[in-house]
Copies of this chain bind each other. A is one copy, B any other.
């Protein structure tokens, strides 16, 4: 048996012939002439090395080896039909893999964005890489992930970024702090407090510092802590005040108060970011589209600021390409 000259087409034809028990009828069904089919059968028999069909009243019937060939052919065609389905899914993006780089702060909203997608596309595997802003920026530069969540998107010729979620920054204090009971506290009055903040480069810190500069306020006493959790707990313990994403604090409520300070909450956003010079893998495209269509299922309406347009356009362009 020389498998080398075996083609799937021959098997398809053969299967049809055996199913219908007739060369002519198979030819008709396959939109071929009868001699064509006869000849293909001949070539198949040659490749197999044995007679596979024998004449029968008004048609043909497989020989012993032919029966077995029929089974093998059926199995093989089915196997590849399965594979075809798989490829279709891969192409449609409903199956496959992609990765997201996210800054630590985003981990509070990430699950809410991911769960509905997982529900609709159980065969997509998402790899999530979490790090601080510096870390994720580095990954972005190396093109290590397909999509990124940034609070301050990196700038760059080919960077595509789309705002899609409000990320209000609130001022938090221990519940027993004097400012917790006031309304519209001028922040200048808080300048003497100790402030706990993330490392330099953190988006939250960038926004806060920029705001301080704009309002000509200089803080007297700051403390750097590289974890939102620890900051939150420390504020609860009375170690100081802090500016944190509202999403972060809604997660736990241990003895914290949101101070109603002038100018607060500070306005800030989450951006979906990707490289504009390389097509996204299909599952990532699926994800962006899904995100675009299902934001209201993920978060409260007041957070939604859907400006994903440019990224969606980019994706549509990629679709047309391939």
Q: Footprint of B on A, CB under 8 Å? A: 1, 3-9, 12, 48-50, 64-65, 68-69, 72, 75-77, 79-84, 86-88, 90-91, 95-97
Contacts and interface: CB of A to CB of B under 8 A. Distances in A.
A88 B86 CA distance: 34
Given A72-B82, A80-B6, A1 B64 contact: no
A96 B63 CA distance: 10
B72 A80 contact: yes
A3 B64 CA distance: 27
B80 A50 contact: no
Contact of A77 (B3, B9, B77): B3
A1 B90 contact: no
Contact of A1 (B3, B48, B84, B97): B84
Given A6-B7, A64-B97, A97-B64, A79 B72 contact: yes
A38 to B, nearest CB: 19
Nearest to A91: B50
B49 A87 contact: yes
A97 B72 CA distance: 19
A87 B6 contact: no
Contact of A87 (B1, B84, B86, B88): B1
A8 B7 CA distance: 6
A182 to B, nearest CB: 57
Given A49-B91, A64-B90, A3 B72 contact: no
Contacts of A90: 50, 64-65, 68
Contacts of A3: 8-9, 12, 77, 80-81, 84
A156 to B, nearest CB: 24
In this complex, which of A49, A77, A97 has the most chain B Cβ atoms within 10 angstroms of its Cβ? A49
A241 B42 CA distance: 62
A69 B79 CA distance: 10
A87 B7 contact: no
Nearest to A75: B79
Contacts of A1: 80, 83-84, 87-88
A1 B3 CA distance: 21
Contacts of A72: 79-80, 82-83
30 contacts: A1-B80, A1-B83, A1-B84, A1-B88, A3-B9, A3-B12, A3-B80, A3-B81, A3-B84, A5-B8, A5-B9, A6-B7, A6-B80, A7-B7, A49-B91, A50-B87, A50-B90, A50-B91, A64-B95, A64-B97, A68-B83, A68-B86, A68-B87, A68-B90, A72-B79, A72-B80, A72-B83, A75-B79, A76-B76, A79-B79
A56 B49 CA distance: 40
In this complex, which of A4, A48, A87 has the most chain B Cβ atoms within 10 angstroms of its Cβ? A87
Nearest to A77: B3
Contacts of A77: 3
A312 B275 CA distance: 77
A77 B4 CA distance: 11
A88 B65 CA distance: 10
